[in-house]
Amino acid sequence: MSERLQPGDLAPAFTLPDADGTEVSLSDHKGRKVIVYFYPAALTPGCTKQACDFTDNLELLAGAGYDVIGISPDKPEKLAKFREKESLKITLLADPDKTVTEAYAAYGEKKNYGKTYMGVIRSTIIVDEEGKVERALYNVRATGHVAKVIKDLGI
């Protein structure tokens, strides 16, 4: 497991397929700030709430210079269904082998109902225009998280 990212760290580079199978790289967003968030699974209640919150606030975030990318272990086909069903406008990327999720330390031990297992840790990493980590938020809650990010960024 990777060490958790800290402000000032270089954000790990990545290239992953989006819901349409088109390759998207972090470097495509150079010169803009990027909110990269990791979520466990498309089409689940918490992840849907979070994705809809980001979509609802996309204009506000984009106006402040931020792009939003959601990454999960789902395959592109499932991401496409998720996007269509919820009318999502954010970029959704597939990381089925969890390479990027692990590089961002967003995969690890979780506890649920007293059981310990390995899974995606709901996390949000804010990357600046130079590709450096501005903020790294781990174990975030799906509900209210987007509002908190907007408040913390002073948008």
The one catalytic residue among 26, 34, 47, 80: 47
In whole angstroms, give the CA distance from residue 95 to residue 93. 7
- The total of other beta-carbon atoms located within 10 Å of residue 76's CB is 18
**Is 47 considered catalytic here?**
yes
Cα–Cα distance measured from residue 26 to residue 69, given in angstroms and rounded to the nearest whole number: 9
Handedness of CA 49, 55, 56, 61 (dihedral sign): positive
Strands 15-17 vs 23-25: parallel, antiparallel or unpaired = antiparallel
What gap in Å lies between CA 72 and CA 106, rounded to an integer? 10
The DSSP 8-state label assigned to residue 18 in this structure reads: B
Reduce the DSSP state of residue 84 to 3 states and report it: helix
- Residue 78 φ/ψ region, left for φ over 0, alpha for ψ in the -120 to 50 degree band, beta for the rest: alpha
Active site residues: 47
